Copies of this chain bind each other. A is one copy, B any other.
Amino acid sequence: MNEGPIQGNAVVGQSGGPTAVINASLAGVIEGLQNVGAIGKILGMRHGVNGLTRDNLIDLSDTPASMLDALCRTPAAALGSTRDKPDLAYCQRIFEACRRHDIRYFFYIGGNDTSDACRIVNEVSNEAGYELRCFHIPKTVDNDLVMNDHTPGYPSAARYVAKACMADSCDNASLPGIKIDIIMGRHAGFLTAASALARRDSDDGPHLIYVPEVPFDLERFVDDVAKVYDSLGRCQVAVSEGIQDTSGQAIGAMLIQGETDAHGNVQLSGSGALGDQLAGILKAKLTPAGGKPPRVRADTLGYMQRCFPDPSPVDVSEARGVGRFAAEVAASGDVDGSISIVRTNDEPYEAGFKRIELSDVAAKTKHMPKEFIKGTNDVTDEFVEYAMPLVGELPRFAKL
């Protein structure tokens, strides 16, 4: 194994759904590489590997520190992102582009599909006997990467969800009724669970939380809501966009005309259909005979969860840190990998980074562990203790 840096250029790209801090990871990679003398140019891929294969690159070598700081306050993917999921042939084209541009360092910021692309590109370069140090840098609001305490992007999205649900609980108490908030998370319930951070007092919402890990039963859902509504005169419900029936069929997907992306994922976000459908069902089922239907509203929190410009300070710092750490590890020798966040202390919260193997994380999905799930419609205190240190300070509201 080669020790230390190898002579050549570096490339960095962003992939998948944007987050509030994916640009902080980009800034971290750039600043981590700027100190490495062996590295010629630091190149940015426009729209991920799609840009790389078309030689659509931007020179980031001399990005000033002020711009790096500004990137850390900028949501979404400043280089542009892509939904392309490269297969072997595509990865061969990626590798050819790297060889063409004398690239020896390859950094790709994204979720589990992105780590899989890194893994394949790495294999292709290994087979060609070309030293390409491939690094996956984690990013996903879903928090569904294995081998990570949590992933950059999640804390800021969780912060938005918590603040939104806090305010919405006040709104729901002002004008009592039933309020459904649809929250992102196709397979993993971590983001929906973050709605529990909104609670301060026993009557605060959300009163019910539905994650994809627990099979969703429509009759039980209606009963749950009726019980809370009867007792409090109101009910705030957090529902994951990814709720599934007992057979694993996504409830939202059944309601939405099946557009799929290149990864075969049905489009769940960017539509209000699931919330509207659930609201309609509750209104119909909970209208007393001859009486007035209850006031039922649904909000689909939408893209603001991933890009609202109020990131968690912990998240910004860690997202930048994983980027810088990846650059440092890549410069240290002929290694590849992904970077994992490891929690080293609970109170006060402390965390560090470590390199893990690409194959450990690639194309795998983490779900909410059992100890975070309470019955069929709530999360545990253990989850709250896990998530609360990540989101930064939350507001405190007055009650009369």
What is the interface of chain A, defined by CB distance below 8 A to chain B?
A: 14, 17-18, 20, 23, 44, 58, 60, 67, 70-71, 73-83, 163-164, 166-168, 170-171, 173-176, 179, 259, 267, 269-273, 275-276, 279, 293, 296-304, 306-310, 395-400
Is A74 a contact of B398 with CB atoms below 8 Å? yes
Is B77 a contact of A174 with CB atoms below 8 Å? yes
Chain B residue contacts of A74, Cβ below 8 A? 170, 397-399
With beta carbons under 8 angstroms apart, the residue of B70, B170, B174, B275 that contacts A397 is B70
Is B79 a contact of A400 with CB atoms below 8 Å? yes
Chain B residue contacts of A298, Cβ below 8 A? 270-272
Is B304 a contact of A164 with CB atoms below 8 Å? yes
Copies in the complex: 2
With A75-B167, A297-B270, A298-B270 in contact, is A310–B307 under 8 Å at CB?
Answer: no
With A309-B163, A398-B23 in contact, is A75–B171 under 8 Å at CB?
Answer: yes
Is A397 a contact of B279 with CB atoms below 8 Å? no
Is A306 a contact of B171 with CB atoms below 8 Å? yes
Is A167 a contact of B76 with CB atoms below 8 Å? yes
Is B82 a contact of A175 with CB atoms below 8 Å? yes
A–B Cβ pairs within 8 angstroms, 24 of them: A18-B170, A23-B398, A71-B398, A73-B395, A74-B398, A74-B399, A75-B397, A76-B170, A77-B174, A80-B173, A80-B175, A81-B174, A82-B175, A83-B175, A167-B308, A168-B303, A171-B307, A267-B297, A269-B297, A270-B298, A270-B299, A271-B276, A272-B275, A300-B302
Complex-state Cα separation, A78 to B276, whole angstroms: 28
Is A400 a contact of B78 with CB atoms below 8 Å? yes
Is B400 a contact of A307 with CB atoms below 8 Å? no
Chain B residue contacts of A396, Cβ below 8 A? 70, 73
Chain B residue contacts of A299, Cβ below 8 A? 270, 300, 302-304
Nearest chain B CB to A6 CB, angstrom units: 26
With A18-B171, A304-B304 in contact, is A398–B76 under 8 Å at CB?
Answer: no
Q: Smallest CB-CB separation from A261: which chain B residue? A: B295
Is B307 a contact of A170 with CB atoms below 8 Å? yes
Nearest chain B CB to A45 CB, angstrom units: 11
Complex-state Cα separation, A270 to B270, whole angstroms: 15
Chain B residue contacts of A308, Cβ below 8 A? 163-164, 167
Give 6 new A-B contacts, CB below 8 A, not counting A70-B398, A270-B298: A76-B167, A167-B303, A167-B304, A259-B293, A267-B297, A270-B296
